[in-house]
């Protein structure tokens, strides 16, 4: 069998139909290679083989003994049960105990007379020695050789515990791994020999052997160090090759023009740009001036002035004879961007119109819900080049939309767009347009290097002058209801002082099945199930219900309006316009206001059921207040118990305004499954050993090596093994995972 194919061997051939079927359906393991990369999540220590007469207290031991008797006892008025098993080995007796759901399997298997090996930690209960929930291996009394072998192999070892499922226990997975472990010898090693030797890594076959069947803890560490490196390195090579391929694409250089739109715009700015904005603008202008497409990620704290930086880049492209498109994830946001950009530009956004500047250009909006006449005019302005800037939703990507000369695409909130949309927009230019991706979710450095590894990164971490601090407090509604009453008083005080407020709820309400997006549906389903199991867990609070309560109660007499995703786009736009104009005191909304909504007069935000939102999402929401000269206030209302992780999360949000610090906390709590796995792209993450939050140094070092290797040998002609492993990683799903980030 050749070196690659043994890893590609279907598990069906080696393990039998039933096991292979469960592995495929429940663990997504299909080939020998898949199973060899299904690493143990932890290891149990087994002590030395010890006679029952010599058991040491508080130590891990292994005993070889026979079941004398086993009985189930009820406790807690029959609600709980435990299994007690008495063992004997001729030298003494020992009690085993199993609780709860853990009693069923041993009750069936540990029958009087059965002989087995048992491993666990010795404790004392009611002055008797016992092992609680030991691991065990039954011995076949009829097969003396097997029993001898097991007695030799079982004690003193580290027992691998595999990620398992209800249909397949860890020990059965371990047995299956034993069957495929000889194939580890055929592992294709992706690391170039010089790198492997230079860093003193264990050869890959040995690392696989050590991770599955370690003799010592040092074996485990050794294997992990090697396997983490492989994952980081292969991923970084894939990203480095993508970046290299991008530098080979042609693009039209767009250089700033003296006395053009940009200069006219800068001249009328009522403030000076921050140092950060100047620095990031220079990075972008340098990229735009090259003859291959810019691919840059612009990370910026909420309110750090990303839109200003993006707009100046768009004006530069228009000055250089091209067009710029800004893609927003929702209609509300596209309309908001259009409004704020036309306001910032003033008469410069009215090119060719009466009262417009002769240096100006047309700024058009294109969304799916526009009327036919307006849409036709917008499309015409794009194809003739009359409109230098277009702002829209994914409606911009449709086939009908043609540009005169698309030079720059700005994507707002990248994670909401997949690779298909990005490519569709790219194909609208005569040559690939430059690409600027903006995100207001601060991303820790390693995640940026992993998720957005094909983009160069710019960071805006200063807030513009005139931005006010935001005070954040947790309001424990259940423990201290008077705190919630005080929260509504604070809202009233702000309104009386001429300001406005947001109230955010997780759900729309009206018991309509259609919750906002798939997430809403899932959340609703989960909360309904939870409330059946535990009456304490009610469905999340809803916009329509809270707005109604506030109008009748705590905020009676104030103008209270709602905003959510099920409203007609014109209706949404009307509410946002009136809120922006100051005609609405309190806006009760879902997270549609999370990004991009800019109303400087809004000073207070109350987030209901705040524990139902993620850390980054709360930080985003909070960024909607304190955008003017008056200080902002964010009140996080929660019924979560004081000692719960949910409350700890809210306290972390209240304690810092540093988005990067919060994104780190968020990541530590969610782990990166959410960041790199299904939440992002619908395919399983290729990272099994590497954790992007803990392995910062590994990722940074792997990136450095990958960049050097790709620069020297872009096609990896001299590294066939690396090419083979890369091809396996970058099958269609993985390509998509990398692209979507």
pLDDT per residue as tens digits for the range 282-340: 999 999 999 988 988 888 876 678 888 999 999 999 999 999 999 888 887 888 889 88
CB 491 within 8 A of CB 555: yes
Determine whether 81 is exposed, middle or buried from the number of CB atoms within 10 Å of its CB (0-12, 13-18, 19+).
Answer: middle
- Per residue in 282-293, pLDDT (tens digit) is 999 999 999 988
CB neighbours of residue 313 within 10 Å = 25
DSSP, collapsed to helix, strand or coil, labels residue 372 as: helix
DSSP, collapsed to helix, strand or coil, labels residue 380 as: helix
Query: Can you list the positions of beta strands (E) in 551-683?
Result: 560-563, 586-589, 602-607, 632-638
Identify the pLDDT of residue 680: 35
pLDDT over 90, % of the chain: 25
- Per residue in 256-295, pLDDT (tens digit) is 888 889 999 999 888 888 888 899 999 999 999 999 889 8
CB 298 within 8 A of CB 436: yes
How remote is the C-alpha of 355 from its chain's centroid?
47
Identify the pLDDT of residue 286: 95
CB 14 within 8 A of CB 180: yes
Identify the pLDDT of residue 513: 42
Predicted TM-score of the model (pTM)? 0.65
Dist CA 404 CA 394 (whole Å)? 19
**Structural tokens at position 70:** 């086993």
CB 67 within 8 A of CB 116: yes
Q: Tell me which residues of the chain have a pLDDT lower than 50.
A: 1-4, 512-519, 528-536, 671-685, 732-733, 735-741
H or E element in which residue 243 lies: helix 217-248
Dist CA 64 CA 115 (whole Å)? 7
Dist CA 550 CA 16 (whole Å)? 63
Identify the pLDDT of residue 712: 92
Residue 692 half-sphere exposure, CB side, CA atoms within 13 Å? Answer: 31
Dist CA 470 CA 624 (whole Å)? 10
């Amino acid at each position: 069998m050749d070196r690659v194919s043994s890893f590609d061997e279907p598990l069906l051939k080696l393990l039998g139909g039933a096991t292979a079927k469960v592995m495929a359906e429940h663990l997504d393991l299909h080939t020998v290679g898949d199973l060899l990369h299904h690493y143990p999540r932890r290891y149990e220590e087994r002590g030395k083989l010890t006679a029952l007469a010599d058991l040491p207290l508080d130590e891990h031991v292994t005993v070889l003994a026979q079941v004398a008797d086993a009985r189930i006892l009820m406790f807690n008025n029959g609600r709980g049960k435990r299994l007690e098993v008495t063992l004997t080995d001729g030298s003494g007796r020992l009690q085993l105990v199993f609780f709860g759901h853990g009693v069923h399997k041993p009750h069936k298997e540990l029958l009087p007379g059965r002989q087995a090996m048992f491993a666990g930690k010795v404790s004392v209960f009611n002055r008797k020695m016992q092992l609680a929930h030991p691991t065990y291996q039954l011995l076949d009394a009829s097969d003396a050789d097997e029993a001898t072998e097991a007695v030799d192999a079982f004690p003193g070892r580290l027992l691998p515990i595999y990620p398992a499922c209800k249909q397949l226990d860890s020990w059965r997975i371990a047995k299956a791994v034993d069957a495929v472990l000889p194939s580890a010898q055929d592992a294709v090693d992706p690391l170039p020999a010089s790198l492997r030797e230079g860093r003193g890594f264990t050869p890959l076959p040995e690392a696989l052997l050590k991770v599955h069947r370690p003799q010592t803890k040092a074996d485990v560490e050794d294997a992990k160090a090697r396997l983490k490196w492989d994952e980081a390195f292969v991923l970084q090579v894939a990203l480095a090759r993508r970046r290299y391929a991008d530098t080979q694409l042609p693009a039209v250089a767009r250089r700033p023009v003296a006395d053009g739109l940009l200069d006219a715009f800068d001249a009328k700015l009522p403030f000076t740009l921050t140092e950060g904005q100047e620095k990031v603008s220079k990075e972008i202008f340098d990229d735009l001036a090259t003859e291959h497409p810019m691919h840059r990620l612009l990370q910026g704290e909420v309110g750090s002035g990303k839109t200003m930086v993006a707009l100046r880049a768009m004006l530069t492209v228009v000055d250089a004879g091209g067009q710029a498109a800004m893609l927003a994830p929702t209609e509300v946001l596209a309309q908001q961007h259009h409004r704020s950009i036309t306001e910032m530009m003033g008469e410069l956004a009215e090119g060719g119109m009466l009262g417009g500047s002769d240096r100006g250009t047309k700024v058009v909006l294109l969304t799916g819900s526009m009327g036919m006449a307006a849409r036709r005019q917008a499309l015409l302005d794009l194809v003739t080049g009359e409109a230098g800037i277009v702002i829209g939703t994914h409606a911009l990507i449709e086939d009908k939309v043609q540009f005169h000369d698309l030079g720059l695409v700005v994507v707002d909130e990248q994670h909401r767009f997949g690779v298909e949309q990005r490519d569709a927009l790219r194909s609208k230019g005569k040559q690939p347009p430059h690409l600027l991706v903006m995100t207001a979710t601060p991303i820790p450095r390693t995640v940026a290097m992993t998720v957005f590894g094909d983009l160069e990164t710019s960071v805006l971490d200063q807030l513009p002058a005139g931005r006010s601090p935001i005070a954040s407090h947790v309001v424990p509604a259940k423990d201290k209801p008077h705190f919630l009453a005080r929260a509504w008083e604070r809202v009233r005080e702000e309104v009386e002082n001429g300001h406005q407020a947001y109230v955010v709820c997780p759900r729309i309400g009206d018991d309509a099945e259609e919750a906002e997006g798939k997430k809403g549906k899932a959340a609703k389903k989960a909360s309904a199930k939870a409330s059946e199991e535990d009456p304490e867990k009610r469905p999340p609070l809803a916009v329509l219900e809270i707005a109604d309560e506030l109008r009748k109660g705590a905020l009676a007499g104030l103008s209270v309006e709602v905003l959510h995703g099920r409203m007609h786009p014109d209706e949404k736009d009307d509410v946002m316009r009136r809120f922006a104009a100051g005609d609405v005191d309190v806006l009760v909304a879902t997270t549609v206001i999370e990004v991009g909504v800019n109303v400087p007069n809004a000073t207070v935000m109350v987030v209901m059921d705040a524990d139902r939102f993620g850390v980054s999402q709360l930080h985003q929401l909070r960024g909607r207040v304190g955008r003017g000269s008056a200080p902002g206030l964010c009140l996080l209302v929660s019924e979560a118990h004081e000692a719960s992780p949910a409350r700890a999360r809210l306290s972390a949000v209240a304690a810092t305004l540093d988005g990067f610090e919060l994104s780190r906390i968020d990541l530590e709590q969610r782990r990166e499954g959410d960041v790199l796995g299904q939440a992002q792209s619908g395919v399983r993450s290729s990272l099994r050993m590497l954790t992007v939050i803990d392995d910062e140094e590994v990722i940074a070092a792997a990136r450095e090596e990958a960049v050097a290797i790709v620069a020297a040998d872009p096609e990896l002609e001299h590294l066939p093994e690396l090419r083979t492993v890369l091809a396996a990683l970058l099958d269609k799903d993985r390509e998509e995972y990398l692209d979507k980030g």
